[in-house]
Chain A
């Protein structure tokens, strides 16, 4: 299994509070991704990173920010959580090299915003 650890695995918080999710990898892969998965929508890309301090937006980036200060860590922050951000969040990684590399997923974080 790819060495990907997401933390926390579950979190319940209140509307308006800041939330940070962490993705840690031991594979030294260049690319890291944050997705959310909701019923009826499938997996949607929030943000991704193609190197330390190199990040870009995905299709559903509003309300989210990311940071990558080390190769192994990619943080997703909800500055002021809203109920619409209740979801399951997955981190994924892929190796650098040719553009056909598959992505491997962490175990996910189930986030509930009340």
Chain B
């Protein structure tokens, strides 16, 4: 799987947009970008994924650059409950089936009142 690079930590003011970057310069054509987060010591939580188009769901938006070498997760209006470690993960998708996720160290996002 392609390696990802994320800043170790970021701060964001409550109510503002949080923009979390991820570099994945060795990503292959069949690899998707996934974002998960882990609040305190809870289980990781799926946020969003994408291949090459920008994606939006009720939790976040994902912007993937045209060359697919980097992406940004956007939390449009961060709340204190968004304080968590955010993981950017790249994995190949080859149809339905089980697969393993390779977690890095992620970015610790602190939302500040």
Bind each other? no
Q: Which A residues are closer than 8 A to B by beta carbons?
A: none
